[in-house]
Amino acid sequence: MKEKVYMAVDLGAESGRVVAGLWNGRKLRLEEIHRFPTGGVYLGETFRWDVLRLWSEIQNGLTLAGKKYGKRIVSVGADTWGVDFVLLNKQDEILGQPYHYRDPRTRGALERTFKKVSRAEIFRQTGLQFMELNSLYQLLAWKERSPGILDAADRLLFMPDFLHWAMCGAKRTEFTIASTSQCVHPLKRNWSLPLLKKLGLPTHFLPKIVPPGTTLGKFRKSLAERTGLAGVKVVAPPSHDTASAIAGVPTANTGKANWAYISSGTWSLMGVEVKKANLSSRALELNMTNEGGVDGTYRLLNNIMGLWLVQQCKRSFDAAGRKYDYVQIAELAAKAKPFRSTLNLNDPRFFNTPDMPKAIQVYCRETKQPVPKTDGELVRCAYESLALKYREVLASLEELTGEKIEVIHIVGGGSQNKFLSQLAADACQRPVITGPVEATAMGNLLTQIRADDELASLTEMREIVRASSSVQRYEPAAWGTG
């Protein structure tokens, strides 16, 4: 069988990629075609996304793919981070420069919102973890600052939806990305219109929600001419990058809650795959979230600050002339004295600070803990704080599901961090299986392959992941925090 080619556009908070998936009917082989930085842009006192630059880079990648694979390319699908969106008017003009989820305009939004609608009612209607970056609070910020823009909007498109519109003109939103917004009802699987109405938000611009694997159309004629990709289909994968990553977990236990995942990158998203959203008062108390998955599943999880802490420390080290790669940073942490200081990862000071080492030191001083001074001590503090948070979330997941979690799968870029993976195994006292690094791209591509009638189920998709990738296992050792 001659290999078919499927294309994934995978955008993360730090970098984006155009990846080819070469499918021979038994295994999936990945080739990175184009990589580029993403990142936000400061504009005045705001923090935005330069979506036109990102789209330009994607077109460059698609053009390179067209030259290499030509008519072998079947389809393309995009996945990105959640919550952020683009507003279009009736003439398909972008309204405003899209905001980055780390923009400060939503600070204090939770308290202001709870004065109108209670925390419990919002959770009943959305099932989502309370974070000021959620689309719900971004919309409320638009309403407070620029209500005319919302009135003029004809369509709200989350980031991957916007990319799909740019590719084929479809104005739909895929369920997994819509489910990150805190605007979707987790049982009805549609917009929570009564909640939005109670908060005074317009709803006329909300698009139709479609499931992952939906074919949205074919490339625009102009895009096909520029890239050489005539007739290529656009298929919505699980468009939230974490949803794609979880579809790419190499578990043999699909349909069971005895395994957990950590999608590890700028954020660590730790959870279990369940068949029904958990809207219990205890889930609300634990600030858990129910986000959409493949085949009607939900990802019962907690959003954890993740490797953002280390990434921002590295940025400060680089600026001071101490340039390390991430392997060297992990080695520095391994040599530092353990269990000196830990962080509350929910503290807002860590969310978008210009000086992460200073923020860590100030926090430790204020909480009367030993203050990390060396680079190794700083990153060790960050890594151990993450591992301890994993242990806390693990206990919450077992309580909510009533199942003992027997193994933790870590996927994504952070799965390459051997030091953190062993810390996770030790803190949680569970075996940790790491890999594939490319779980997000694999979940995206395998959904497209399934849409092409090559696969029949999520179980089959994960069988291909196991056949196409290698993993590493970490056994728990003694954990010394007491």
DSSP 325-375: -HHHHHHHHHHSPSSS----TT-GGGSS-S-HHHHHHHHHHHTT-PPP-SH
Strand partners, 433: 409, 473
- Degrees to nearest 5, angle at CA 372 with 315 and 482: 120
Three-state DSSP state, 273: strand
The number of residues making up the chain comes to 482
How far is Cα 72 from Cα 74, in angstroms, rounded to an integer? 6
Instruction: Name the strand (E) or helix (H) holding 300.
Output: strand 298-304
Catalytically active residues are 241
How far is Cα 20 from Cα 209, in angstroms, rounded to an integer? 27
Q: Is the dihedral of CA 358, 360, 361, 366 positive or negative?
A: positive
Q: Are strands 15-23 and 4-11 parallel, antiparallel or unpaired?
A: antiparallel
* Interacting residues of 224 by C-beta distance below 8 A, sequence separation 6+: 218, 230, 231, 232
Strand order in the sheet with 432-434: 289-292, 298-304, 268-274, 259-264, 407-411, 432-434, 472-474
Q: Nearest-CA neighbor of 294 among 257, 239, 349, 345?
A: 239
Distances (CA, A) of 30 to 22, 33, 334: 6, 9, 32
With contact defined as beta carbons under 8 Å apart, do 454 and 5 qualify?
A: no
